[in-house]
Amino acid sequence: MFLKQTTVEESRKVLPKAKEKRARKTLGRMYKDRYLYLMMFPVLVFFFIFKYIPMYGTIIAFKDFRFVDGIMGSEFVGLKHFIRLFSSEDFYRIFANTLLLNVYNVIFSFPVPIILAILLNEVRNRWFKKSIQSILYIPHFISWVVLGGIIINILSPSSGVINQILKACGAEPIYFMRSSFWWIVVFVCSTIWQTAGWGTIVYLAAITSIDAEQYDAAVIDGANKWQQITKITLPSIRGTIAIMLILRMGQMLDVGFEQIYMLQNDAVLNVSDVISTYEYRVGLEGMQYSYTAALGLFKGLIGLILITSTNYIVRRLGENGLW
């Protein structure tokens, strides 16, 4: 009994020393990487100020917010705005439009950067490769105000280049921006134009990290380019594709406001009115802040569910998820 008590007392003395040793080791590693932490500090400050502090304002979704009363002084109404939201016909229309446009983007836009990265990786002429990359990256740095104007002018039924070609061929002009079908096609194509080039950066970085000896061995075994891509390149970047897909699924209810707003018109509201434009119209212009805050909270919750479930599926398939 005495020996047992002594052992317990000794272990109690050893535990603080072990914790202190681990703490010193952790501080030592942090000091060693102090410049990396210093580079990360502005990013943390940005997220704290612009992402975490504004979360305090989400409580207005449960209140009848008035500027005069402030956030805390406004009347608490519970789930009133959520009930109004889910009983509104507009909600189901904008929810369906947002979801469908994102599904189209995932199906048609998501694979494009992967394909471009693989094609660029096969280019051996460095000058040509850098020129193509620069051309592909340019649209990412142009505002949607400018891009939207370019697209509308190109597709104009009277003076647009496309319709001028159709007229020269004896065909009738197409009102692209006033047709529900063609508007969706224009939306998806413009998304690819603006985002595909920039998205190749991640996949090119993943491809360049592949061991070149694998390709050398494949060539010796008689594998052609297609076999090298399908047997080496794609399996090697599968983890990166999975991570990007998880992040993309978290944005399934978030369609870029600027793009939609610039391309939208009254004739195609049945397919182009999405959550972001509805929030702008009802929330900012209509000053129904609590109602649109409830909508934003719902959007965030669905995004959390989608990103969590996609991460779970990816891990079940044998890939590393976000966590």
In a domain, 171, yes or no: yes
Q: How many CB atoms lie within 10 A of CB 144?
A: 19
Q: DSSP letters of 220-283? A: HTT--HHHHIIIIIHHHTHHHHHHHHHHHHTTTT---HHHHHHH--GGGHHHH--HHHHIIIII
In a domain, 42, yes or no: no
Spell out, as residue ranges, where the chain has pLDDT lower than 70.
1-18
In a domain, 159, yes or no: yes
Domain count, the chain: 1
Query: What is the C-alpha to C-alpha distance for residues 323 and 321, in angstroms, rounded to an integer?
Result: 5
In a domain, 10, yes or no: no
Q: What type of residue sits at position 13?
A: K
Query: Cα angle vertex 117, ends 136, 312, to 5°?
Result: 115
Of the candidates 27, 65, 8, which has an alpha carbon nearest to the alpha carbon of residue 294?
A: 65
User: Each residue of 201-229: pLDDT tens digit?
Assistant: 999 989 988 888 888 888 888 888 888 88
* pTM over 0.85, yes/no: no
Query: What is the C-alpha to C-alpha distance for residues 120 and 128, in angstroms, rounded to an integer?
Result: 10
In a domain, 59, yes or no: no
Residue 85 CB-half CA count within 13 A: 25
In a domain, 122, yes or no: yes
In a domain, 239, yes or no: yes
Query: Residue 154: which CATH number?
Result: 1.10.3720.10
**What range does the domain containing 264 cover?**
89-316
User: Each residue of 258-296: pLDDT tens digit?
Assistant: 899 999 988 898 899 999 999 999 988 888 989 999 998
In a domain, 82, yes or no: no
